[in-house]
């Protein structure tokens, strides 16, 4: 039995217990339909982004519906595509500080039905604490070395 990358992301389940999204969407606004987990991927490093996309899509359970090289672009894709989840790097242009955390908090505030995973190469607890400062609902912090 293969293990899903997202053990629980929402309210609907298919076959082997893979959770597919907060409301089971396939398309933005299409409610109650079972399908693949729709993800926007935000990563400024093109090679890391391509590798992550390949890893996610190779499961057969995840569709990367949008890719962004910075937080502003990612925010626009989330607004336009209505994904089930967003996977974002922690540091991106233009300042390479906490753009990923800021993006995650903004997404959760504006679209609480969208889950966000922040990928980081930093194992400093301060980053995770900044992400979870108000709530951990719908958020995850994952070290890149664990992927």
Question: pLDDT tens per residue, the chain (147 residues)?
Answer: 333 444 333 333 333 333 333 344 444 444 334 588 999 999 999 999 999 999 999 999 999 999 999 999 999 999 999 999 999 999 999 899 899 999 999 999 999 999 999 999 988 899 999 999 999 999 999 998 887
Q: What is the pLDDT of residue 94?
A: 87
Give this prediction's pTM. 0.76
Whole-angstrom CA distances from 61 to 1, 23, 64, 136 are: 14, 16, 10, 24
Q: Residue 117 and residue 98: Cα distance in Å, rounded?
A: 14
Domains of the chain (ranges plus CATH)?
36-146 (3.40.50.2300)
Ordered DSSP codes for 88-102? EESS-TTTSSSHHHH
What's the pLDDT score for residue 34? 59
Residues forming a β-bridge with 39: 64, 85
Tell me the C-alpha to C-alpha distance, in Å, between residue 25 and each of 7, 21, 120: 17, 7, 28
| Residue 19, strand partner residues | 13
């Amino acid at each position: 039995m293969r293990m899903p990358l997202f053990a629980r992301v929402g309210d609907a389940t298919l076959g082997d217990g893979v959770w597919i999204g907060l409301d089971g969407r396939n398309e933005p606004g299409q409610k109650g339909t079972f399908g693949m987990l729709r993800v926007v991927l935000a990563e400024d490093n093109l090679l890391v982004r391509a590798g992550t996309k390949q890893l996610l899509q190779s499961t057969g359970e995840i569709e990367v519906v949008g890719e962004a090289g910075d937080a502003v672009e990612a925010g626009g894709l989330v607004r336009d595509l209505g994904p089930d989840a967003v996977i974002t790097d922690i540091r991106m242009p233009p300042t390479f500080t906490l753009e990923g955390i800021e993006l995650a908090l903004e997404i959760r505030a504006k679209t609480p039905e969208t889950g966000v995973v922040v990928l980081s190469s930093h194992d400093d607890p301060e980053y995770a604490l900044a992400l979870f400062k108000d709530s951990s609902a719908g958020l995850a912090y994952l070290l890149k070395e664990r992927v």
